[in-house]
Amino acid sequence: MIRICFYDTKPYDKIYFDELKEKYEIEIDYFESKLNHKTAVLAKGYEAAVAFVNDTIDSKTINILIENDLKLIAMRCAGYNNVDVKAAAGKIPVVRVPAYSPYAVAEHAFALLLTLNRKTHRAYVRTRDFNFSLNELVGFDLHGKTMGVVGTGKIGRVFADICKGFGMNILAYDPYPAKDFGVSYVTFDEICRQSDIISLHCPLTKETFHIINKDTISNMKNGVYIINTSRGALIDSEDLLNGIKDEKIGGACLDVYEEETELFYEDMSYKIIKDDILSRIISMPNVIVSSHQAFLTKEALYNIAETTLQNVNHYFKNNIIDNEISYKNSK
Ligand code: NAI
């Protein structure tokens, strides 16, 4: 049996990992704590550690894991901006789940858009209180509007296909345009100038950090909607807030937030939230925030468990590193 430890465990993770662990001859101990330099020592005695999007896998954490004889870090997610890949290079392999359900994320992004635009969240609350007024519930037709898709990888392409089904015009920006995808590629500047709605589906890198900021917002159409289901730090949150206050931005759908690590996935309803920017953003009537849940479908959770356990099993049984995050590719 291969022994692994599992950080930042939630009940919905356990269901699928427990279902599949015997098939891959893996024993799992679940920890509720996130992985960081303080909790890395818990990995002593295990062969691999399984981690997630809000774990802090910096050089300090990596060194402690190695000192404790850990052999593999298995990310149970696609994005890996929270891993210091350079610090791990040549010392410990880091693997990930490159794709588990682009549909889950793309459908959630579109669900947020439909909710915000047609104000179904408000209608639901109103009618439960027998308030049948329609005041302030006016939306707009998506048909004929222009959607700017930033990043046309697995998720961006599914999202663009959903938009096409709604009769929207699609503009796309990607430094590596897909040749077999029938959309018009333009510059990021054109996306800003021409789109009624902009949806972010690119990874967080040095190039994309704060790609939405006061300068790029100033180029956008008045009343633009911004959707972010990728990574919080693609957006400068303070600039977004100012854009909403100035009524330049007409609405925002946010599944991610740049300072989400200590907040998202936890019940903070009885806590004093110290983050004034997030509090103010959430208070806006034209903003919907979900708690990094775009991936949360049964199919995605099953695929995450299956690929993560396969990655671990292949490494220890066959010495094959599947789905490695290599420093060379991440630069
Ligand atoms: P992917 O790797 O298939 O596609 C990413 C695309 O972004 C590629 O086509 C790439 O060329 C493009 N790209 C790279 N640099 C860019 C730039 N500077 N500007 C515009 N595009 C750029 O990745 P996938 O699976 O489509 O995922 C996209 C992102 O979605 C992930 O990086 C992750 O951050 C996020 N994600 C969020 C989840 C959630 O639950 N909210 C779940 C899964 C992924």
Question: pTM for this one?
Answer: 0.94
Structure-token pair, residue 68: 């404790």
What type of residue sits at position 108?
H
Judgement on whether residues 205 and 148 belong to the same structural domain of the protein: yes
Query: Is 22 one of the catalytic residues?
Result: no
Which helix (H) or strand (E) is 237 found in, with range? Answer: helix 237-245
One domain, residues 96 and 107: no
287-325 pLDDT tens trace: 999 999 999 999 999 999 999 999 999 999 999 999 999
Residues 24 and 79 in one domain: yes
The residue-averaged pLDDT of 89-103 equals 96
Asked whether 214 and 62 are in contact (CB, 8 A), the reply is no
Q: Is 120 found in the same domain as 61?
A: no
The predicted pLDDT at position 262 comes to: 87
| CA distance to 66, 115, 120, 123, 139, per residue, from 136 (Å) | 57, 14, 12, 10, 9
SS3 122: helix
Q: What average pLDDT does the chain have? A: 96
Alpha carbon of 216 to ligand 1 centroid (Å): 20
Residue 157 catalytic? no
Within this chain, do residues 199 and 141 fall inside the same structural domain, yes or no? yes
Q: Which band of pLDDT confidence, cut at 50, 70 and 90, is reported for residue 261? A: confident
| Statement: residue 246 has pLDDT above 80 | yes
Q: What is the mean pLDDT of residues 234-239?
A: 98
> Same structural domain for residues 268 and 174?
yes
Average pLDDT over residues 28-57: 97
Q: Is 46 helix (H, G, I), strand (E, B) or coil?
A: coil
Q: Are residues 235 and 307 in the same domain?
A: no
pLDDT for position 330? 59
HSE-CB of 110 using CA atoms within 13 angstroms? 21
pLDDT at 22: 96
- Does residue 201's CB lie within 6 angstroms of at least one atom of ligand 1? yes
**Whether residue 231 lies in the annotated active site:** yes
Q: Where are the beta strands (DSSP E) in 13-160?
A: 26-30, 48-51, 72-75, 94-95, 146-150
Query: Are residues 144 and 267 both part of a single domain?
Result: yes
The Cα angle at residue 24 between residues 21 and 27, in degrees rounded to 5: 50
Atom of ligand 1 nearest to the CA of 153: 4
Please give the pLDDT value at position 329: 57
Separation of alpha carbons 156 and 316, rounded Å: 34
Q: Are 258 and 151 within one domain?
A: yes
Question: How far, in Å, is the centroid of ligand 1 from the Cα of 1?
Answer: 35
Amino acid at residue number 204: L
Burial class (CB in 10 A: 0-12, 13-18, 19+), 232: buried
pLDDT confidence of 327, banded at 50, 70, 90? confident
pLDDT band at 36 (very low <50, low <70, confident <90, very high): very high
Number of domains in the chain: 2
Shared domain for 262 and 117, answered yes or no, is: yes
Q: Mark whether 92 and 106 lie in a shared domain.
A: no
**8 Å CB contact between 73 and 48:** yes
Give the distance, in angstroms, between the CA of residue 296 and the centroid of all CA atoms in the same chain. 11
Pocket test for ligand 1, best of 155, 159, 183 (most atoms within 8 A of CB): 155
The mean pLDDT value for 236-255 works out to 98
pLDDT digits (tens, 9 = 90+) for 166-186: 999 999 999 999 988 989 999
Contacts of 248 (CB under 8 A, 6+ apart): 217, 218, 220, 222, 223, 224
Are residue 114 and residue 223 in the same domain, yes or no?
yes
pLDDT at 328 over 70: no
Q: Taking the CB of residue 310, how many other CB atoms lie within 10 A of it? A: 18
Catalytic position from the list 96, 108, 231, 258: 231
Nearest CA to ligand 1 atom 9: 153
Decide: 2 and 26 in contact? Cβ < 8 Å: yes
Q: Which domain holds residue 112?
A: 102-289
**Residues in Cβ contact with 4 at an 8 Å cutoff, skipping those fewer than 6 apart:** 26, 27, 28, 29, 46, 47, 48, 49, 50, 74, 312
- Look up the CATH number of the domain holding residue 6: 3.40.50.720
What is the side-by-side order of every strand in the sheet holding 224-228?
184-185, 169-173, 146-150, 197-200, 224-228, 249-254, 287-289
| Tens digit of each residue's pLDDT (9 = 90 or more) over 98-127 | 999 999 999 999 999 999 999 999 999 999
What CA–CA distance (Å, rounded) separates 87 from 154? 28
Ramachandran assignment for 311, one of left (phi > 0), alpha (psi -120 to 50 degrees), beta (any other): alpha
Ligand 1 atom at shortest distance from the alpha carbon of 295: 40
